[in-house]
Structure 1
Amino acid sequence: MTENTSFAPSQTWKKPHFISNPWLRYGLFIGIVVYLVWAFATLPFDWVRISEGIPRAGKIFGGAFPPSFQRSSLLITGFTESFQIAFLATLLGLLLSIPIAVMSAKNIAPKPVYYVGRGIIILSRSFHPVIVAILFVAAVGFGPLAGVLTLTLYSIGFVAKLLAEEIEEIDWGQVEAMRSVGAGYLKTLIYGVFPQILPRQIGLSMYQLDSNLRASAVVGIVGAGGIGGTLMNAFGRYDYDFAFAILLLIIGLILVSEGVSGWVRKKIW
């Protein structure tokens, strides 16, 4: 009696396509390519001005070397103000983000409150910080107050959204345990919800501070305080070496902030 050693050919599993219909998949790809070609063909690129700008850019970069740190007092003042703006905006944004995140979590907020909270998040995330800074500068004038208000709104949109999603993914058993012993809504939040999202909240705080340090330099360009105003003035006076020194210090500050943020997150998790 002979033993049958033949086996059926093995089937290799393949990941299914995101769009299963091949006609729709390839049609969408062709449509994207056609749109890109059309967009580049119709946008008003001034190729003459671009060609003239290449030597101008070389002149700017040539004038930026070596960087000048002679006006160190302006650098220190600008960076100190930027850090103060970023720190205050992060602190205010986090304090305001907690109740808005609670309002925006569908598992613990009533429907009307949920829609109000989500509306606040959507509104605060709808506009770029530069646009918001221009509005606040027009409302409260030039200076750091406009920067603090701008970055506070910017922080709310980011932190509240992620905290709300974190609340929606909590272990519901702890909440039910609190309710079973007669705890009210506020005590349930304090002892059943907030301890579960605390590590995430600390990590978001460090990330948002890092993000606000970068954004403070950007909003300062439109008059919202900080080192951005100093950078804009340097470019306006054609002090490219001083402007390059400011850019180097911004990069250094972000590197230090990123290192501290990573160290804190590693300690948390």
Structure 2
Amino acid sequence: MSATTARRVAFAPNWALRAALLVLLAYTVWASSRLGLSWDRVAHGMGEGGRLLARMVPPNFERWQLLLEGMLESLQIAVLASALGILISLPLSVLAARNLSPLWIAGPVRGVIAVCRSLHYVIVAILFVKAIGFGALAGTAALVVASVGFIAKLFAEAIEEISMKQVEAIRATGAGVMKVLFYAVLPQVSSRFIGFCLYQLDSNLRNSTLVGIVGAGGIGGTLFAAFKRFDYDFVAAILLSIIALIFLAEIISGRIRAALR
């Protein structure tokens, strides 16, 4: 093969990729026209957004007691939902791991986990609000379902990646199922489990502020009420408090990860 032919083969254009990009571009243009997206609407929205931000300044922290009450409720929802979700996810992940459980067990359990992950937590929160009423219980239940759908899947995938040599060695000693889990499985995945748990807690802190908008408790309800009253300076105070809470949680979780390394 000549050098010219080799260069031509090495740098041959990927026509399939180019065609796919053109199809994607054409679909984007078509979808934008169907949805009524235009630069005029974007420009109008930017102007309205600027006026909204102007009404938020300066933030009003005079009702700090109401703000603190909502933030504490959101924090309680997040912590409780994370703890329950993790406790439920641990046995489910072992049953869903295909290297530890037979297919006739792992398959249905994975189906349950997929169902928990299928619906957005806000939709689940609406369902729980309709079923058990307004309040923190509905928000906690919704975030437990969301946590199980996420954490159980990650736990199961982490277990499937372990080395089976340690599992077989512990089994060869005649150890039971629990001893195999504690001495062969958990030591290999404990650091990843801790990372997943901290991430889920951080995620639930953000999510707990949103479920309150649909009546599931937390600071979200206070935020939604402030929006309905056009009380935008108090809205700014709530948003700044939520941002501060998330930053604080990120700092604490980062230090915990560093301490466990």
Contact 1:103 1:116 in 2 (8 A): no
Work out the CA distance in 2 between the residues paired with 1:127 and 1:256: 29
Work out the CA distance in 2 between the residues paired with 1:47 and 1:37: 13
Work out the CA distance in 2 between the residues paired with 1:214 and 1:86: 8
Query: Which deviates more from structure 2 when the two are superposed, residues 185-194 or residues 232-241?
Result: 185-194
Q: Residue 147 of structure 1 aligns with which residue? A: 139
Q: Once the 2 structures are TM-superposed, how far is the Cα of residue 24 of structure 1 from its aligned partner? A: 2.0
Q: Residue 266 of structure 1 aligns with which residue? A: 258
5 Å-filtered alignment, 1:32-51, equals 32-45=24-37
Q: Once the 2 structures are TM-superposed, how far is the Cα of residue 51 of structure 1 from its aligned partner? A: 5.7
Work out the CA distance in 2 between the residues paired with 1:54 and 1:257: 32
Secondary structure class of the residue paired with 1:201: helix
5 Å-filtered alignment, 1:69-218, equals 69-218=61-210
Query: Which deviates more from structure 2 when the two are superposed, residues 192-201 or residues 241-250?
Result: 192-201
RMSD: 2.2
Write out per-residue CA displacement over residues 126-157 of structure 1, whole angstroms, 9 at most, x where no aligned residue: 11111111111111111000010011011111
Which has the higher Rg, Structure 1 or Structure 2? 1
Q: Residue 247 of structure 1 aligns with which residue? A: 239
Work out the CA distance in 1 between the residues paired with 2:149 and 2:47: 41
Pick aligned residue for 2:15 from 20, 23, 27: 23
Work out the CA distance in 1 between the residues paired with 2:155 and 2:218: 29
Write out per-residue CA displacement over residues 32-85 of structure 1, whole angstroms, 9 at most, x where no aligned residue: 111111111221348776665554433321111000000011011001100000
Structure 2, gaps ≥5 residues long: none
Work out the CA distance in 1 between the residues paired with 2:99 and 2:31: 44
Write out per-residue CA displacement over residues 219-244 of structure 1, whole angstroms, 9 at most, x where no aligned residue: 11111100000000011111100010
Q: Once the 2 structures are TM-superposed, how far is the Cα of residue 21 of structure 1 from its aligned partner? A: 8.4
Give TM-score, length-normalised by structure 1. Answer: 0.89
Work out the CA distance in 2 between the residues paired with 1:232 and 1:140: 21
Does residue 56 of structure 2 align to residue 64 of structure 1?
yes
Work out the CA distance in 2 between the residues paired with 1:51 and 1:83: 37
**Amino acid across the alignment from 1:23:** W
Higher helix share: 2
Tell me: CA distance 1:99–1:139, structure 2 relative to 1, closer, same or farther (3 Å). Answer: same
Give the aligned length. Answer: 255
Work out the CA distance in 2 between the residues paired with 1:203 and 1:242: 35
Q: Residue 228 of structure 1 aligns with which residue? A: 220
Query: Which deviates more from structure 2 when the two are superposed, residues 218-227 or residues 48-57?
Result: 48-57
Q: Once the 2 structures are TM-superposed, how far is the Cα of residue 262 of structure 1 from its aligned partner? A: 0.9
Secondary structure class of the residue paired with 2:61: coil
Structure 1, gaps ≥5 residues long: 1-8
**Amino acid across the alignment from 1:144:** A
Secondary structure class of the residue paired with 2:101: coil
Work out the CA distance in 2 between the residues paired with 1:23 and 1:45: 30
Give TM-score, length-normalised by structure 2. Answer: 0.91
Query: Which deviates more from structure 2 when the two are superposed, residues 184-193 or residues 226-235?
Result: 184-193
Write out per-residue CA displacement over residues 94-146 of structure 1, whole angstroms, 9 at most, x where no aligned residue: 00000111111110011011111211111111111111111111111110000
Identity rate, percent: 49
Contact 1:147 1:224 in 2 (8 A): yes
Tell me: CA distance 1:27–1:59, structure 2 relative to 1, closer, same or farther (3 Å). Answer: closer
